Amino acid sequence: MKPLSASQQAALERPDPDRMLTQVQIWSEINSGTGNLRGLATTASLLTDAFSSLHGDVQLFDPAPVERVLPDGHIVDVEHGRHLVATVRPEAPIQLLLTGHMDTVFAEDHSFQQLSWLDEGVLNGPGVADMKGGIAVMLAALSAAETAPEFASVGYQVIINSDEETGSASSADLIRRLAKGKLAAFTYEPSALPDGTLAGARPGSGNFSIIVKGRSAHAGRNPQDGRNALLAAADLALRLKALTREGLTVNPARIDGGSPNNVVPENAVLRVNLRPHSPELERFALAEIRALIAAIEVEHGVAIHLHGGFNRPPKPLTPEAEQLFGLVKACGEDLGLTIGWKSTGGVCDGNNIAACGIPVVDTMGVRGGSIHSSNEYLITESLVERARLSALTFLRIAEKGGL
């Protein structure tokens, strides 16, 4: 264990558990589902006020255009909320990136809207762990680090986007721009396990909507003149599923379309998710998707349009990432915390940052669990615990002048 300096010790006494918990409760009581633009705007306003305390430049950026395929195959534009970016000391020699998201998976009309205590120190509520708690940790850690003189050598940018839960399509370019030139990055997703274990390597993820256009016909009088889009989509789903292998999972999730029983279906939309564990498997999967589509078009006499792509690149544990994980682990030991990590099947903005060549630890947020469900919970003692872990990590980077 490495002893703490006087300035580090003083900084680590700064995070206030009551203040952090109050922030989480206020932010989580506002529904900020990805599609709830009004709730996102309210949340963005509150977060703008909160992050202005860092005395940097805080701006809200408009989302990039995003398309969505409707069940009938039509493609429409989708509105998203604005993304918060805070910039502090852009001229400093050491630059870090911190990321979080203000959106949740709970739509405006979802039944899960209230906070409740499951047990002493265990708070249940929408987004308490994923990731209103993580945002509180991030802000408290930065506020604590700012009190240490050595932190003046570190500049940083914070992005809190509004669309992480649906793949960050409207913020991906912004994240890439902000990642440029950074020494390291930290993302405040909740820990991979309730004990605080971090997520290490992650697979990539691709989401596709495959629009199939057939030809309508009477199912009794002249079915031979029809081209069954639903059947073609189902055939394609089975062939795509057969691509599953070591390091690549394929999940055909839904087929929209169909018609009355006496009509050959003219339209269908196949939704599918793929998770490759390496760039090579990502390239293989995309080539196979295109080849299978070409074959189905010929065999079924339909036209197919492929919409979507791999929005989360695979995130291997590189030597640079291992070095960053090692630093976080050492800081944890100095605080009496046992920090480990494991590979996980989930994806997040850490995937996109790692693809920019920037080492990232993407589960620096709270301890909790059951995220994306009405059982989501936050272990409240982890608010200060994880804020201190981040703050010490930042100060050790400042102390060393790097990783």
pLDDT tens-digit readout, 177-208 = 999 999 999 999 999 999 999 999 999 999 99
- Of the residues 273, 289, 312, the one at which a domain ends: 312
Alpha-carbon span 270 to 292, nearest angstrom: 13
Q: Both 23 and 119 in a single domain?
A: yes
What percentage of the chain carries pLDDT values higher than 70? 100
Domain termination site, one of 312, 327, 354: 312
pLDDT at 126 over 90: yes
State pLDDT tens for residues 304-348.
999 999 999 999 999 999 999 999 999 999 999 999 999 999 999
How far is the C-alpha of 403 from the C-alpha of 376, rounded, in Å? 34
Provide the pLDDT for residue 229: 98
Q: What percent of the chain has pLDDT over 90?
A: 100
Residue 102 lies in a domain: yes
Alpha helices in 229-278 (DSSP H): 229-241
**Dihedral over alpha carbons 403, 189, 24, 379 (to 10 degrees):** -100
Q: Is residue 332 assigned to a domain?
A: yes
- Is 279 in the same domain as 394? no
* Residue 81 sits in the same domain as residue 189: yes
Q: Which amino acid is located at 38 in the chain?
A: R
Do 244 and 295 sit in the same domain of this protein? yes
Cβ neighbours of residue 104 under 8 Å, at least 6 residues apart?
A: 31, 32, 33, 34, 126, 127, 130, 165
Give the pLDDT band (50/70/90) at residue 144: very high
Q: Residue 1 — very low, low, confident or very high, per pLDDT cuts 50/70/90?
A: confident
| 341 three-class SS | strand
Structural domain includes residue 139 = yes
- The average pLDDT across 160-178 equals 98
Say if 175 falls within a structural domain: yes
Q: Summarize pLDDT for 225-266 with one digit per residue, the tens.
A: 999 999 999 999 999 999 999 999 999 999 999 999 999 999
- 251 with 302, same domain: the answer is yes
CATH code assigned at 326:
3.40.630.10
The pLDDT, as a whole number, for residue 293 is 98
Is 247 a member of any domain?
yes
Helix (H, G, I), strand (E, B) or coil at 107: coil
Asked if residue 224 and residue 305 are part of one domain, the reply reads yes
pLDDT of residue 372: 97
Q: Is residue 382 part of a domain?
A: yes
- Kindly state the tokens that stand for 36: 């709830």
120 and 14 assigned to the same domain: yes
Q: What is the mean pLDDT of residues 25-35?
A: 98
Same domain membership, residue 36 and residue 77: yes
DSSP E strand stretches across 109-174: 116-119, 122-124, 154-161
d(CA 325, CA 341): 8
Q: pLDDT-based confidence at 301, cuts 50/70/90?
A: very high
Amino acid code (one letter) for 162? S
Number of separate domains in the chain: 2
Report which of 200, 182, 180, 181 is spatially closest to residue 191, judged by C-alpha positions. Answer: 200
Indicate whether 209 and 190 sit together in one domain: no
Per residue in 374-387, pLDDT (tens digit) is 999 999 999 999 99
Last residue of a domain, one of 286, 312, 338: 312
| Whole-angstrom distance, CA of residue 230 vs CA of residue 19 | 55
Please state, in angstroms and rounded to a whole number, the distance separating the CA atoms of residues 100 and 97.
10
1 in any annotated domain: no
State the residue for tokens 């987004």: 127
Q: In this structure, are 120 and 234 located in the same domain?
A: no
- As a whole number of Å, the CA-based R_g of the chain is 23
Whether 128 and 242 share a structural domain: no
| Residue 230 lies in domain | 205-312
30 in a structural domain: yes
